[in-house]
Every structure is written in C-alpha cells, then in structure tokens.
Chains A and B, each alone.
Chain A
C-alpha cells in the first residue's frame, strides 16, 4: 500500500545574500493516511520549512516528494495550487482568516475559488455542518474581528476541512491560544482524526500538544531525529 506522503533525500537551501543557508539536509519521511503526527524541534531546526514543502508552498532544492501518488516535485506553481486546494488543508498559527469575509464565507473560500463551482445549496449545507462540528454554528455571519482567538482557529480548522483534504497541515496551531483553548483545539483535531479519519500533521513547540500526538517526529539542524514514536 502506498503512503500518503513519501519524501526521500529532501534538502532545502536558501540564499541569504552571498551566503547559502541549509534548512533541510536530506530528510526521509513517510506518513500514512489517518495518522496524527507532530513535528517538533527548536526554532530554526527546519520544521516550518519541512511543512512548507509538504504543503506545496515551497519546493525542495533536491530530493523527491510524492503526495497521495502525485509527484509534486515536478509540478509548476499553478499546478501546485490545484494540488493544495484539493489535497491539503492549512491551519496557521495566526489563523489567517480573510477579514472582509464572514465565518461562513471564510469556511467556503477554498471551494469558492475553484474553477468549477459547486452547487451553492450543497456547499452551504457542508459549511453549516462543519461550523456545527467546530462549535461555531451560531457565528456564521460574524466577521473574524468579532471572534475570540479560539473561535478564529476553529474557523480555520473548518476552512481546512471544507475541501475534504487528504492531509491537514497545522503550523503551531496553538501558539497564539491560551492553554484551555489549546486543549479544546487539540481535542477537536483529535476527534476529527478519530471520527473522520482526517490525516493531521502539525508543527509545535507545545509539550502538551506533543503528548496528545500518536506519532511525534523531531527535527534538529535540518535532519530528522529517528525513533520519535508515541502512543
């Protein structure tokens, strides 16, 4: 059976002025569908770079990367837009909601920008279903600035799930939340993983988050540290 994510020998080098900065030094990684995985590591270790490459937001300098059977390393940027839209959901540290859209519009945004429009009634029903799943069905017409941090992150989770992605990437999703809200968000993601078999991969510094993960990867100085398995 093929893996959802299959990376071999991934390197990433940035150029800062005349200096080459190596962010990843030959990462091998496989993740299967349905996993709930965290990537940990100190600042500057390369975990955000790894998530960016996995999320098709950036391209590796060398190495191969196959996502859900698609060799994304050879695709151009607009092709990758389609891959991102169909296969990946994103949850950001700063929520990154679109301020001029209300909750319902933010949730449906990734579907709304598709070339082939979906049936509006069916889409709206799914938006309401997701909003209910994340506990925001009473806030559909609120703008992001009318919500708390936790509520915003719940909107971001619903937005990440609206396209029924194969993978949800979350970059430090609890970093801007208080501990109680962080717990609620982690519980929500765990429930979605358990009940809807959504594959989660997120980076975090938060030890409480790591403790909930079923698999923890540690990255250090651009290299994956082996043997980090949990639960």
Chain B
C-alpha cells in the first residue's frame, strides 16, 4: 500500500482540523500572491507615470547632458531639425520623437490691480510676485503621443494646453497657479494687455537674461508631492526665450509595439554616433530600482513571517495528530514498519497539505489578482491630487516559487512531528491509552 494513500487517508480522518490547517495555508499563500501582485502593480504604476507621463521610453541627449542634468545645462544641447528627427525615427522600433527643452526660469506675475494714479505703492496683496520654477518645453502635438498621461493630468486640472505654434500659453501645476492667484485665460479669449500678463525670465544658453510674456492657458493636477513648481511651455516660445532656435536639450521617444527596449537603444546609439547619448527610462529613474529592492526586502520579511506562522500551525496540527495516533504508530512499528517509513508517512502528510493548500491558495490568490487587476485600485501617491490606478500582476515564476515554498515548507514543518512519531518505542506506544 502506498504511503501516499495512507497519508491522504490520515489527513481525511480529522477533516475539521485538516480544513482549518488548509484554510491557514490558503490564506497565507493567497496573501503572498496578492501582496506580490499589488507591489508589482504599484511598481508598474510608477513606471507608467514616468514613461507615459514624463520621460517617454527612451531619451536622446547630447553626450554629457545626463551627467549634468541637475543643473539643466542649456549648453549641452543638440541641433533640432527635420533631418535629425527623421534620422532618429528611422531607427527600427522607434515610434514618435518629441523634442524638448528643460530649463529653470523665474515666473513674474502681474499686479492684480492697476497702479495708483498718485504713484503710491500698491498693497502687498495686490502686488505681483516672482518665483522660481522648472519648465519643460515641447511641441504639444508630438508630446501628447509620447507622454499621454501628462494630458490626463492636464485634463484633471483646469483649461488646456494650446497646440498652436505661436501660443504663449503656459500650463502650471494647479496648486502652484492657485498659490500665485493666477487667472486662466479662457480658450479663444483675446490676450490681455502686456502689463496684465505674466513673464518668464531666465538666462539664455549664453547666460544673458531674457524674458517672454506668457498667459496661463491651463493647469494640471498634482500626481506627486514634488511636482508643484513645474510648468509646460510650447517649444517655439521656449526656444525664443532661451535664444535656442533650432536647438533642443532632449528627445523623448516612444517604442513601436513589440520593440525591444535595449535593441532600440543600441540601434539609436549606433545611428547617432558618440556625440549623442541614449538612455532608457530605467536609467533615468534609478530610484525605482532602489524602491523595488526596498519593497522586495520588506515583502520577503513579511511573507517569511506569514509562512512561518502558517507552518507553525501545521507543526501544531501534526503534533496533535501524532499524539492521537500513538497506539496506531506502535502497531505499525510492531508489524514491521520501519522508523524511516513512519517518518516518510508524516512528511507525506505535510507535503500533501502543502500541495492542496498551495494549489488552492494560488487559485484564490490569482482570482484576487484577476479581480483587482480588472477593477483597478485607485491609489493617490502622497501629496497627489489625482489617483493613480494600480493594476496588480504576478509573474509565473513567483507563483511556481510560492507553490514550491508551500509544499517544501509544509513537508519541513512535518519533520518534528514525524521524528517524534518515529522515535516512539513500540512497547510504550502500544500501551498508550
């Protein structure tokens, strides 16, 4: 008679206890699957916000730009022309190419009331103000295809971003615009007089100060805690302000569906030569790797604790089972069963629990993941005004690994009870009441 058959029947003899043990295992395994999927979904949400909201999937810069990116160096720029864009777009796997300039500027807001006729100073509350901000300039029609999430955030704010080539419309963070008490210019409305317009003032690539009047065409809702002092500007206006006509600091790129990121990166680098540098989104946000590592460590600690608690439950249940079957074990030893067979029988009981609990736990976990993934979990980042939607996913390797952990862990949890059973002396076991 196979020990496996005996193990299964032994598990079925006290169904209530077996069910309780299985429920603990199912809850533990499904929680591990669901938690892992949530973490994966959270990571995916951050990546999507970065790739489809800020960076694009690949970026091209003049060599040396990224090493100095904190100072937004305008001198490490590139010629922007239809030929350059075509050259980039011709690389297999490249989708849309969006030229950009990132720079810092001072935003000066107009006084809120006309100057006093007697020349006296306006009250402070009515006076305009100046403040520093970071600006990303792009051609809206192209950028919309590279970072569509950005338009979701604009949609969650007020107004919109004009796609007209001669627009002087600035899009600001909504909280920032409200703090500065800036009023939006409704679409199609005539420009106010110059003295009623805001101005962007900055040093050009030669460090000479320059300024351009702007109107606030729209606002975007915050998606992170640190996107308050940010604005978007039409590329042509930024080039005029920075005296960088025909030049940009960055190209943001999308990939064609199915294209391999690393292969496209290598193709771009080969096509553009050593004057350019190509970075993937992952290389531009190294904090994400740290974040994932930290989350993985925390997850591993928590899941180890969960697994240990569940396995201790199995140890306890099986020790009770040994205690209830002392005379039976004595009989088995008496009729010639070896200690190693007794050990194997209990290990199999643990393993069978692990297989059944593991498979059921994974089924429940995957069902949870499916439900969460289809419904989506809205989760605003700290300080964000717009909720990002998490779609949990779990990798097949993790599912297989969790099943293996449940089976091996349950079998290991049976070692102590199995050893205790196998160590029984038949004479004492047979006399047990």
Query: A residues within 8 A CB of B341?
Result: 113
Query: How far is A7 from B427 in the complex, measured between Cα atoms in Å?
Result: 19
In the assembled complex, A94 has its CB within 8 A of some CB on chain B: yes
In the assembled complex, B339 has its CB within 8 A of some CB on chain A: yes
Which B-chain residue is minimally distant from A159 (CB atoms)?
B335
Query: A residues within 8 A CB of B335?
Result: 84-85, 90, 109-110, 113, 159
Residues 169 to 193 of chain A near chain B (Cβ within 8 Å): none
Query: How far is A108 from B331 in the complex, measured between Cα atoms in Å?
Result: 14
In the assembled complex, B336 has its CB within 8 A of some CB on chain A: yes
Question: Which label, helix, strand, loop or mixed, suits the secondary structure of the B interface?
Answer: helix
Identify B336's interface contact among A82, A101, A108, CB under 8 A.
A82
Q: Do A96 and B328 touch (CB < 8 A)?
A: yes
In the assembled complex, B104 has its CB within 8 A of some CB on chain A: no
* Mask of B1-30 contacts with A, CB within 8 angstroms, 1/0: 100001001101100000000000000000
In the assembled complex, B334 has its CB within 8 A of some CB on chain A: yes
Q: Do A112 and B1 touch (CB < 8 A)?
A: yes
The minimal Cβ–Cβ distance linking A58 to chain B, given in whole angstroms, is: 5
In the assembled complex, A52 has its CB within 8 A of some CB on chain B: yes
Query: How far is A112 from B339 in the complex, measured between Cα atoms in Å?
Result: 15
**Size category, A interface:** 20 to 34
In the assembled complex, B157 has its CB within 8 A of some CB on chain A: no
In the assembled complex, A125 has its CB within 8 A of some CB on chain B: no
* Mask of A48-77 contacts with B, CB within 8 angstroms, 1/0: 000010010110000000000000000001
Query: How far is A100 from B330 in the complex, measured between Cα atoms in Å?
Result: 15
A57-B427, A105-B1 given; A96·B327 CB < 8 A: yes
In the assembled complex, A35 has its CB within 8 A of some CB on chain B: no
Query: How far is A23 from B336 in the complex, measured between Cα atoms in Å?
Result: 25
Query: A residues within 8 A CB of B9?
Result: 100-101
Count residues on chain B whose CB falls below 8 Å from chain A CBs: 24
Query: A residues within 8 A CB of B333?
Result: 81
Query: How far is A96 from B334 in the complex, measured between Cα atoms in Å?
Result: 11
The minimal Cβ–Cβ distance linking A32 to chain B, given in whole angstroms, is: 24
Query: How far is A108 from B340 in the complex, measured between Cα atoms in Å?
Result: 20
Identify A98's interface contact among B332, B340, B427, CB under 8 A.
B332
In the assembled complex, B308 has its CB within 8 A of some CB on chain A: no
Q: Do A100 and B332 touch (CB < 8 A)?
A: no
Query: B residues within 8 A CB of A57?
Result: 334, 426-427, 430
Query: B residues within 8 A CB of A85?
Result: 335-336
Query: How far is A96 from B333 in the complex, measured between Cα atoms in Å?
Result: 12
8 residue pairs, one from A and one from B, having the closest CB atoms: A85-B336, A100-B9, A112-B1, A96-B331, A110-B335, A57-B426, A113-B337, A58-B427
Interface residues of A (CB under 8 A from B): 52, 55, 57-58, 77-78, 81-82, 84-86, 90, 92, 94, 96, 98-101, 105, 108-110, 112-114, 159, 163
26 sample A-B contacts, Cβ–Cβ < 8 Å, listed by A number? A78-B338, A78-B339, A82-B336, A84-B334, A84-B336, A86-B336, A90-B334, A92-B331, A96-B330, A96-B430, A98-B328, A98-B331, A98-B332, A99-B13, A99-B328, A100-B6, A100-B12, A100-B13, A108-B1, A109-B1, A109-B332, A109-B335, A113-B338, A114-B336, A159-B335, A163-B336
Known pairs A57-B426, A82-B336, A163-B336; list 4 more (Cβ under 8 Å): A85-B335, A96-B334, A100-B6, A105-B1
